[in-house]
Amino acid sequence: MALTFYWYPNCGTCKKAKKWLDDNKIAYTSIHIVDNPPSEQTILDMITKSGLPAKKFFNTSGKSYRENNIKDKIADASNEEMAKILASDGMLIKRPLVTDGENITVGFKEDIFNHTWNK
């Protein structure tokens, strides 16, 4: 199954991840995460399948995160509430977000990409 690669083209980390996928000849469909953020349900599914805490899906260094005091808003939020916030603004999502429908990676670390996507 081809991967779905949610990215922001101006993001340096996304460019590194894209290059890695291309260099490893891994098929993917790219989706602009700001123009077409994943739906609330899609994000909730990814949180559940990833096994990661929902807070790991937030781009904590982003302007939108800081300016909107998201840290305070999610302090005691449920996964459902966090998924709703994430789906409302693609710039809040840590990127790139890559999935094959079962496995999910958040951000780009070469060793994790090797382990997860280079099979």
CATH number for the domain harbouring residue 20? 3.40.30.10
pLDDT lower than 70: segments of the chain: 1
Give the residue from 8, 18, 29 showing the smallest Cα distance to 100: 29
Burial (CB < 10 A; 0-12, 13-18, 19+), residue 45, is middle
Tokens, residue 10: 């101006």
Expressed as residue numbers, the domain containing 99 is 3-117
Number of domains in the chain: 1
Amino acid at residue number 99: T
Report pLDDT for 119. 75
Amino acid at residue number 45: D
